[in-house]
């Protein structure tokens, strides 16, 4: 289970997605207002081992974090 802790304020409208190393969308993690706990969860068990990127985008910016699935 992947837990993504976000720094944005609760209520901020975000799009959070998982991409492969080439930038192709693999999984949508969240779309809409951020919950009060500022966390997004994803079950990665169906994905192949490898490098992925968590991309979080709002009206004010974009953040990218690398994730390695073993």
What are the 10-residue block averages of pLDDT along the chain, 70 residues in total?
Answer: 95 98 97 97 97 97 97
How many domains would you assign to the chain? Answer: 1
Residue 50 pLDDT: 97
Phi–psi pair at 37, nearest 5 degrees: -80, -5
Residue 1 pLDDT: 94
Residue 55 pLDDT: 98
Give me the domain span that covers residue 42.
Answer: 2-69
Dihedral sign from CA coordinates of 31, 35, 40, 41: negative
| Helix/strand number for the chain, H first, E second | 0, 6
Residue 70 pLDDT: 95
């Amino acid at each position: 289970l992947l837990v993504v802790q976000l720094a944005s304020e609760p209520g901020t409208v975000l799009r959070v997605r998982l991409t492969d190393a080439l930038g192709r969308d693999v999984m949508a993690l969240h779309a809409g207002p951020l919950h009060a706990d500022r966390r997004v969860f994803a079950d990665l068990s169906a994905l192949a081992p490898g490098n992925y990127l968590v991309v979080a985008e709002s009206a004010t910016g974009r953040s990218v974090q690398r994730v390695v699935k073993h």
